[in-house]
């Protein structure tokens, strides 16, 4: 495993442990209660993450000199195997906003416990979630309900992308509130997925 990123000088004790090879799996970081504040840690321990731009837009701010515009981006990252991150960024250039959002998503990476919690299936395969979870962002509340194999992802486009990057293949979703607001929908979904980690145990990492 490559334990260094070009030009990276760790600023935290966790970063030093990773660069020295004393921590070699991202699972150890979460089980030991560390907080990730350097994106290079994720680059080393979870290489090959997929990046998807979920939403972009132009944000305008009124200043004394007039209106000042910046681009806003929301990005999701995942390995389709139980890890997902979501971040946002703003910048004068569209590309820079996406880069900032990607770095923010790496700092917000989280494990997701997968399983088969559908009474119609009970196949014991990690194609869905083991139980129903709920997440909230602003006025939006979303419920993720385990589905049987072959159901697919019954969700809106932004939510579907987040679930796909997590590795979930079959699920029902139910949303309330201002569901046309894509940013609130994907962040509510992310909050729901994080709920699965609250009851995760070391033996569940592979599920």
Confidence check: pLDDT of 53 > 50: yes
CATH 3.30.230.10 in the chain is located at 133-204
The distance in angstroms from the start CA to the end CA of the chain is: 24
Nearest C-alpha neighbor of 187 from the set 125, 104, 131: 104
Class at the top of the CATH hierarchy for domain 133-204: alpha beta
Could you tell me the pLDDT band of residue 60, with boundaries at 50, 70 and 90?
Answer: confident
Q: How many CB atoms lie within 10 A of CB 193?
A: 25
Contacts 24+ apart (CB under 8 A), 5-10: 5/40, 5/43, 5/44, 8/38, 8/40, 10/38, 10/40
**Cα(136)–Cα(7) distance, rounded to whole angstroms?**
39
Report the DSSP pairing between strands 83-91 and 110-111.
Answer: antiparallel
* Relative orientation angle of helices 157-166 and 182-195, to the nearest 10 degrees: 30
pLDDT tens for each residue of 95-141: 999 999 999 999 999 999 999 999 888 788 999 999 999 999 999 99
Look-up of token digits 């079959």: 170
Confidence check: pLDDT of 1 > 50: no
């Amino acid at each position: 495993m490559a334990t260094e990123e070009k030009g990276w000088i760790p600023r935290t004790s966790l970063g030093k442990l990773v660069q020295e090879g004393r921590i070699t799996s991202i699972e150890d970081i979460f089980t030991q209660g560390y907080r990730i504040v350097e994106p290079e840690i994720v680059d080393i321990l979870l290489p090959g993450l997929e990046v998807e731009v979920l939403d972009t837009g132009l944000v305008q701010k009124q200043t004394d000199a007039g209106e000042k515009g910046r681009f806003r981006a929301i990005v999701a990252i995942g390995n389709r195997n139980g890890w997902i991150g979501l971040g946002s960024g703003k910048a004068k250039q569209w590309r820079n906003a996406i880069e900032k959002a990607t770095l923010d998503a790496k700092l917000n990476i989280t494990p997701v416990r997968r399983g088969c919690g559908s009474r119609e299936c009970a196949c014991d395969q990690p194609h869905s979630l083991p139980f129903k979870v709920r997440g909230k962002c602003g006025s939006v509340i979303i419920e993720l309900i385990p589905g049987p194999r072959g159901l697919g992802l019954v969700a809106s486009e932004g939510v579907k992308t987040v679930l796909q990057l997590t590795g979930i293949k079959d699920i029902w979703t139910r949303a309330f509130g201002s569901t046309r607001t894509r940013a609130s929908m994907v962040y509510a979904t992310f909050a729901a997925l994080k709920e699965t980690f609250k009851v995760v145990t070391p033996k569940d990492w592979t599920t």
